A and B are shown apart, each in its own frame.
Chain A
Amino acid sequence: MTHLDTEIHQLREEIIDLHRMVRTQLVKCKTALLSFDRDMAKEVVATEKRINALELKIDRDCENILALFNPVAVDLRFILAVLKINNNLERIGDHAEGIARYVLDLDKANDPEVVTRYRVEEGFEVAVSMIDDSLAALLNEDTALARKVFLKDEALDHVNKNATMVTIDLIRKNTPDPLHYVNTMSIVRKLERVGDQTKNIAEEIIFFIEAKVLKHGRKN
C-alpha cells in the first residue's frame, strides 16, 4: 500500500463515519418527533457539534492530500467527490438538528392525525433508506445502487407536494393552530432537502467510480 493509498483509506473511513453519524441523526430525529422524545432531540443537537468537527477534519484532510500528493485519475476523482459528499452530509446534519430543535420548541406532542396527513413517517423512511443506499453504494463502489437513490428521491418529492396540498387544504378550512401544521410542513421540506442532498451524494459516487457527470442532466 502506497503512502497515498494509506491517506485515501483513512479519508474513506472518515467519510463513511460521517455518513453513518448523519444517518443515525436522522433516525433519532424521527423517534424524537414521532414519540415526542425531548431527550432524544437534545442528543441530536449535541451530536451536531461532532458532525461539524468531522466535516472540518475531512475538508482539511482533502486539502492536505491535494497539496501533498497531487492525486490524479480515480484518486483525484475520489478526493473531489469526498469534498462534495462531505459538504452534503454536513447539510443533512444541519437539517436533522433543525428538526430536533423544532421538537424541543414543542409544548406538546404533534397531533398524530396531522402527522399522518403530512406523511411525515414515510418521508423519514424514504430519506433514511436513500442514505442507506448511498452509504452502501460508497462502501461497495456500486453505481447501480447509487442510481436507485434517484428513483427514491421521486417518492420524497411526492411527499413534499402532498405537504403543500395538505397545508392549502388546512388553511382553506381555517384549521386552528396554523403554526403547528406550517411547522410540520417545514419538516417535510427539510426531508425533501435531505433527499436532494443524498441525490447529490449519489451523483458524486458515480462521478468517482465512472467518471460521469450526472448533474443537471438525465440520470442513466
Chain B
Amino acid sequence: MNYKIYAHNVNVYYGDNHVIKGVNMNIAPNTVTAFIGPSGCGKSTFLRVLNRMNDYIVGYRKEGEILIDGEDIYARNVRVEELRKKVGMVFQKPNPFPKTIYENVTYGLVIQGIKDKRVLDEAVETSLKASALWDEVKDSLKKSALALSGGQQQRLCIARTLATSPSVVLMDEPASALDPISTAKIEELIYELKQKYTIIIVTHNMQQAGRVSDSTAFFYMGDLIEYNTTKEIFTNPQQTRTQNYITGRFG
C-alpha cells in the first residue's frame, strides 16, 4: 500500500521522560487522521515529530523512522524549512501576523524569495478560496488580519499554510478556541481539504474526531493504544481503554 506517512517504532524522550513509546503508524494519502487522548498522552508531541517542531526543545531525543512520501524526514540532508513547506501546520490559537491579510497569505512565499506579483496574487486567491475565506475578504485584502474574527483568523492561518503548497497539513486543536459556527466551518473545510491534502488533527473533542476523520489514533501515556478507522473506533473499539476514554469514563 502506498502510504503518505510511515512511522516505525518511534520513541521520543524529553530528558529522562519517555513520552512516545514505540509508535508504529501508517497514514494513507488524502485522508484525515485524528489523534485523541487525555492531556499529556503524547498526541501533540507525535504530531510535532512529523514536521520536526520538537527539534530545538532541550532534552528532546527521537528514535525510530519517519518517512513522508518514502523519504526519511530526519535524514541529514533534509532541510527543515523545505520539510515544513511540505508539511504545514495550523495551531490551536489563530496566530496571524500583525500584517495585512494579503501579506499573511504570501508570507511563506515571500521568504522563499518569490516576488512576482501575479504569482503572489494567484496564491492569495487560490489559498483563500481553498480555506473558504475568499468571499468574505476579497475586497479587504489590504486590511489588517487582526481585524478579522477568531474563526476568520484561523481560516486565514490555514490559507497561509496552504499557500506554500504542502501535501500534509498538521492541525493542533484548530477549532478549540472557536465558537460553534466557526468550528463547523473549520470542520467542513477539513472535509473539503482532504481531496488535496493529507490531514492530521489533534483534538480533545471526541465528536469532532468522529465528524471529520477517516482514521483515529488513541494515545495514552505515550502508547498508541488503538489505531483504526474512525467508524470502528467509535462503534466497536477493540481496547477497553479506548472504549472507556471515548465514552467519557476516564481521561
Contacts and interface: CB of A to CB of B under 8 A. Distances in A.
Interface residues of B, number: 12
A67 B188 contact: no
Contacts of B235: 63-64, 67
B188 A69 contact: no
Interface SS of chain B: helix
Contacts of A68: 210-211, 230-231, 234
A3 B231 contact: no
Contacts of B191: 3
Contacts of A69: 207, 210-211
B173 interface: no
Contacts of A64: 231, 234-235
A7 to B, nearest CB: 10
Contacts of B211: 3-4, 68-69
A163 to B, nearest CB: 44
Given A3-B191, A3-B211, A4-B211, A67 B184 contact: no
A2 interface: yes
Interface SS of chain A: helix
B231 A67 contact: yes
Interface in B141-195: 184, 187-188, 191
Nearest to A4: B211
Interface string A52-88: 0000000000011001111000000000000000000
A4 B191 CA distance: 11
B184 A2 contact: yes
In this complex, the interface size class of chain A, counting residues with CB under 8 Å from chain B, is under 10
A11 to B, nearest CB: 14
A4 B207 CA distance: 12
A64 B234 CA distance: 8
Nearest to B230: A68
B210 A3 contact: no
B193 to A, nearest CB: 12
A2 B188 contact: yes
Nearest to A6: B191
Contact of B234 (A3, A4, A67): A67
Contacts of B184: 2
26 contacts: A2-B184, A2-B188, A3-B187, A3-B188, A3-B191, A3-B211, A3-B212, A4-B211, A63-B235, A64-B231, A64-B234, A64-B235, A67-B210, A67-B231, A67-B234, A67-B235, A68-B210, A68-B211, A68-B230, A68-B231, A68-B234, A69-B207, A69-B210, A69-B211, A70-B207, A70-B210
Interface of A: 2-4, 63-64, 67-70
Given A3-B191, A68-B210, 17 more contacts: A2-B184, A3-B188, A3-B211, A3-B212, A64-B234, A64-B235, A67-B210, A67-B231, A67-B234, A68-B211, A68-B230, A68-B231, A69-B207, A69-B210, A69-B211, A70-B207, A70-B210
